[in-house]
Amino acid sequence: MRRLVPAVVVAGLVAAVVSVLGAQPASAATICDKYGSTRIQNGRYIVQNNVWGADTTQCIDTTDSGFRVTQANHNKPTNGAPASYPSVYFGCHYGNCSSNSGLPRQANTSAFTSMRTSVSMSYPGSGVYDAAYDIWFDPTPAPTARTPAPRS
């Protein structure tokens, strides 16, 4: 018999360039702060810059459907940790929660009957990129303000 471990779903999609709903409309905000974020689609999603692995400048232009990296002055080796992890998410990330997501929510057989997700990514012609699409789980029952830990 398998034991189900309660967890909390806290975040969603991530990429170097990501679109939540297809074509990108005009820019809504530019974020150059290391850990800056803004809400899109009336707060349903949060776009965050999250430059945790470097002390160099990175800027992202946000739209109502995602973001585009417009400046990234990083000089990191390709065989190590990334300079940043900009993302779009639905739910909570270190206490910063999107509006009306219903998350965090306990993950067990009665909490989720199905989960549908999707992502669309595009990349400029030059540079080195690593895109990811994540669904995060957290053992704590509520979103709390924590210091982000570097990803490896």
Assess if residue 75 is contained within a domain: yes
Assess if residue 147 is contained within a domain: no
Assess if residue 146 is contained within a domain: no
How far is it, in rounded angstroms, from Cα 110 to Cα 71? 44
Q: What is the pTM of this model?
A: 0.67
- Give residue 118's domain range: 8-138
Indicate whether 57 pLDDT > 70: yes
Greater pLDDT, 18 or 46: 46
Q: Which amino acid is at 70?
A: T
pLDDT of residue 111: 60
Greater pLDDT, 114 or 100: 100
Assess if residue 152 is contained within a domain: no
pLDDT of residue 110: 63
Domain count across the chain: 1
Assess if residue 57 is contained within a domain: yes
Indicate whether 125 pLDDT > 80: no
Indicate whether 16 pLDDT > 90: no
Give residue-wise pLDDT tens across range 73-88. 898 888 888 899 899 9
Range from 30-39, 49-58, 93-102, 142-151 carrying the lowest mean pLDDT: 142-151
Assess if residue 101 is contained within a domain: yes
Exposure on the CB side of residue 76, measured as CA atoms within 13 A: 21
Annotate the chain with DSSP letters as a single string. Answer: -PPPPP-EEEEEEB-SSEESSSS--S--EEE-STT-EEEETTTTEEEE----S-SS-EEEEEETTEEEEEEE-----TTS--S---EEESSEETTEE-TT---S-B-STTT-S------EE---SSS-----EEEEEESSSS----PPPPP-
CATH code, domain carrying 12: 2.60.120.180
Indicate whether 116 pLDDT > 90: no
Rg of the chain over Cα atoms, rounded to whole angstroms, equals 16
pLDDT of residue 27: 52
